Structure 1
Amino acid sequence: MTAIDINCDMGESFGNWTMGRDSEVMPYITSANIAGGYHAGDPHVMRETVELAAEHDVGIGVHPGLPDKMGFGRRTMDATPEEVRDYVVYQLGALTAFANRHGASVQHVKPHGAMYSMLSESEAHCRAVMEGMLEVDPDLVYLATDMNIYEVAREYDELDAVFEGYVDLDYNPDRTLIVEKSVGPKDPELVADRVVSIATRGEIEAVDGTTINVPASSICIHGDGSNAVELLETIHDRLDAEGIELASLDELV
């Protein structure tokens, strides 16, 4: 059976500020990466997002970031491995409490923004976070965007890791992502083609036309995109046509 997970970053609203289209997107995904309150989110949004995920039987994950709401967790911060580990454990603990309230559990961890970059560049920071995860819950899955992080995660026999690919962003030939400053609508058919290519062949076409390996079992869709729901509807139709199943992360490890 060919199967793939669809994940989306969620719960990034806070106070009077709204980010994303969580209620519209949730019915179409299998894993939700919920902000832990540091780069975005607040207790009320966390609760509401967990409720929404539980209602749609979507796997719950924490999307921990650096403590920098003003910079949306995307600014570089000087933090030790132990400090970053504490940031992740703190946010994981908060989301776990809300999940417990709804009879659910936290399935995975996917670091956000500058924290993700820090883990990619520093093995010490990367290992500190993974060891913190294992202490909290050895059944947690690490959702890895970067191959460096993925390879480190695979060194831990007791830690499950899933590599993720992107279909609404372009890749450079070296497998790095091209992050756009302004995001416009994406071509639904092109995005669906990319999902099928990753799911069936583990590859995708880079921006220069070359084919690169993206051995992903999960794909990420940006829920704040202007036509995110249209993309997801098209993806679902294409997966049905190709006989590709949807599965949550814990079913893929």
Structure 2
Amino acid sequence: MTDMEIDLNADLGEGFGIWRLGDDEALLDVVTSANVACGFHAGDPVTIRRTCAAAVDRGVAIGAQVSYRDLAGFGRREMEMDPEDLCAEVLYQLAAVDGIARAMGGRVSYVKPHGALYNRICRDPEQAEAVVSAVLDYDQSLPLLTLPGSAVHEVAAREGITTVTEAFADRAYTPSGALVPRRSPGAVLHDPGAVAARAVRMATGHVVTAVDGSQVPVEARSICVHGDTPGSVRLARAIRDSLAEAGVTLKAFT
């Protein structure tokens, strides 16, 4: 048994107009932090408002899930952008979601880039600088949620922005600790038992098994389950229950 605490986050608010993706309300009954889509890869004003209101009602922390402007590609297509443009677009998204969250009685308490932007700032200091600059312009107290070993950690530390590391229960890992690209077979995991067991190992043993069978260290304060993964509610509940059985308390990192 352990007295450890860990956050469980999910990507939410990823519908658009009449199109719905995932079961946001059911996930909000399970997770402790909600990464709310800001309208650039998914989401629209009504969806953002509803998601923020539901999160506030449940005491779930709200994060701004900023992205490339890529509705057609769900933010999963990497883009070359001028740093000033990227900074402004991240700032725009952050301000929009925080404004709606505050109107609903809450606030944005962290920032988590989505999809291709998330992966890009893990290795690209220039785009990492643009994202960090946007957070710095808006609210220096907001932490950035990212992978361990990312380029953004060094950039953020230089600018006085806190970074928080996360691990992914429903994604496969490479031996280097990166996520297996989604286009590769087996990149997304769907079995609740396997996903829950991985989450417990991440939280208590700080390790995950990579696709080649090697053991990769993962120091994480938060664990992510993707809201768009089929069966995500079942996965999240299995993770929550297994963590509780292992003596791990779910608590928002903010």
| More off after superposition, 69-78 vs 179-188 | 179-188
From 64, 74, 77, the equivalent of 1:75 is: 77
User: Residues of 1 paired with 2:80 and 2:233: CA distance?
Assistant: 37
CA distance in 2, matches of 1:149, 1:22: 31
**Residue-by-residue CA offset, 1:42-82 (whole Å, 9 max, x unaligned):** 11111011011111111101111111211212223221111
**Runs in 1 of length 4+ with deviation above 6 angstroms?**
182-185
Match of 1:188 in 2: 192
From 112, 134, 137, the counterpart of 2:136: 134
The secondary structure found in structure 1 opposite 2:29 is helix
1:89-136 superposed Cα distances (whole Å, 9 cap, x missing partner): 000000011111122110111111222233233212212211221221
Q: Distance in 2 between matches of 1:122 and 1:180?
A: 20
Where 2:48 maps in the other structure, the secondary structure is helix
CA contact (8 A) 1:153 1:161 kept: no
The 10-residue stretch of structure 1 (12-21 or 58-67) with the greater mean CA deviation from structure 2? 12-21
Greater shift, 62-71 or 224-233, is seen at 224-233
Residues 37 and 64, structure 2, Cα contact 8 Å, conserved in 1 = yes
Look up the equivalent residue of 1:36 and give its one-letter code.
Answer: C
Q: Which runs of 5+ in 2 are unaligned?
A: none
Aligned residue number for residue 172 of structure 2: 170
Q: Which amino acid aligns with 1:3?
A: E
CA displacement at 1:27 relative to structure 2: 0.6
User: Using a 3 Å threshold, how does the CA distance of structure 1 residues 115 and 100 change in structure 2: closer, same or farther?
Assistant: same
Percent of aligned positions with the same letter in both sequences?
A: 36
* 1:166 Cα offset (Å): 0.8
Per-residue deviation at 1:20? 1.8
The residue identity in structure 1 corresponding to 2:244 is D
TM-score by length of 1: 0.92
1:202 to 206, 210, 218: 206
Contact 2:125 2:152 in 1 (8 A): no
* Contact 1:119–1:125 (8 Å) recurs in 2: yes
Aligned to 1:212: 216
In structure 2, what is the Cα distance between the partners aligned to 1:116 and 1:235?
A: 23
- Give 2:50's aligned residue: 48
Aligned counterparts of 1:69 and 1:149: Cα–Cα separation in 2: 26
Answer whether contact 2:122 2:152 (CA < 8 A) is retained: no
- Equivalent residue number for residue 237 of structure 1: 241
3-state SS of the aligned residue for 1:219?
A: strand
Superposition TM-score, scaled by structure 2 size = 0.91
The aligned counterpart of 1:6 is 8
RMSD between superposed Cα atoms in Å = 1.9
Distance 1:78 1:146 in 2: 24
Q: How much does 1:146 deviate?
A: 5.4
User: Are positions 1:92 and 2:94 aligned together?
Assistant: yes
Q: How many residues align?
A: 250
Counterparts of 1:227 and 1:78 in 2: how far apart (Å)? 33
Q: Distance in 1 between matches of 2:73 and 2:18?
A: 17
Kindly indicate whether the alpha-carbon contact (under 8 Å) linking 1:76 and 1:114 is maintained by their aligned counterparts in 2. yes
In the alignment, what sits opposite 1:223?
Answer: 227
Q: From the superposition, tell whether residues 228 and 155 of structure 1 become closer, same or farther in structure 2 (CA, over 3 Å).
A: same
Change in Cα spacing, 1:202 to 1:157, as seen in structure 2 (3 Å) is: farther
Q: 1:216 to 1:153 in 2, by over 3 A?
A: farther
